[in-house]
Amino acid sequence: MIKKIIIILILVFISSILSVCIGSVFISPKEIICILIYKVSSIELININKINSDIINIRLQHSLLSLFVGASLSMTGVVIQSILRNTLASAYNLGISSGAGLGAALLIVMGISFNQYFFIGVSMIFAFITILFILFISKKIDKYMSSNSIILAGIVISLFLSSVMSFLSYMFPKYSNKIILWQLGSLFVRNKIDIFIIIVMTLVFLLILMKHSSVLDIMTFGDESSLSLGVDVKKMRIFFILISSFITAVLVAFTGVIGFVDLVSPHIARKIFGAKHIIVFPASALIGGLLLNVSDIFSRIIVQGANIPIGIVTAVIGAPFFLYIFISNKNNGM
């Protein structure tokens, strides 16, 4: 167990170094380390290139953002897959991400320059409205709001929201590029406060989930078993969906819609570390950060001189993985 965690931590460290090295201008690891030492201790081991120093600042913030966004996305994936007992479920394919994205898209077509935190507020409102619709439809399908009814309702809502986004792009061609780019996701760093908010949010989210990890362990046995063990399944399911929706909305407001990380990372974490959530949450967070960091590196090198939207890269990785999970579940009779 410890060896596996150390290996993942080493991979995260290597990916972070590469993330700072690689770009339109390549900066050697040696220069990066020397500049970082200079920033911390004022010890000048080499002649400091001011331009490279500024580039390192930007890329370091970029790398931090990808690590913590990936971590948060992964943990929401663990939660949703656990409470619905379905490894194909995620905030992305349930429509929660699309709901938050629709709120942002509506602000874009209004053509007004809004404060970033207003975007967060509107994205949160639309994410919660999406959840309310999912829960409403789920209750109409099944009064006990079973996992299958929530997944079915989520798919219906997701398809509807996708059509609304397409309609907005068609009706407002002036803003269609912005809407499309928002749907494809971006890890563009705006300021240090944004990164600080995401880091704090991710750590608080992890602590909350670790505290409730035993409840999620019980819920994976099914509704009847959970009820017999004293867990209020309906109440806890709504709690976990709401907190996951909140995290998703904040991330969408900052980065746009980034899919498949919340699908792939939890699956890998469970394969490596087993099913206990007290281990799966931090492991999934590390794997999600690593996956998004590596995806970000690929987005810079696939086309020379251009950055491919991060959502395209994660989709290329995630789509075949989704198919693999689907086939595995079918072979296992799930």
pLDDT at 37: 79
Least confident of 38-42, 153-157, 161-165, 252-256: 38-42
As a whole number, the mean pLDDT across the chain is 85
Confidence of residue 282 (pLDDT cuts 50, 70, 90): very high
DSSP string covering 247-315: HHHHHHHHH----SHHHHHHHHHHHHH-S-HHHHHHHHHHHHHHHHHHHHHHHHHSSTT----HHHHHH
Query: pLDDT by residue (tens digit) across 180-218?
Result: 888 888 887 667 888 899 999 999 999 999 999 999 999
Least confident of 177-181, 250-254, 263-267, 304-308: 304-308
pLDDT at 287: 95
DSSP H or E segment with residue 150: helix 147-171
Enumerate domains of the chain plus CATH numbers.
7-327 (1.10.3470.10)
**CB 154, CB 134: distance < 8 Å:** yes
Phi, psi angle pair for 24, to nearest 5°: -60, -30
pLDDT score of 260 more than 70: yes
pLDDT score of 306 more than 80: no
Of the segments 22-26, 199-203, 247-251, 312-316, which one has the largest average pLDDT value? 199-203
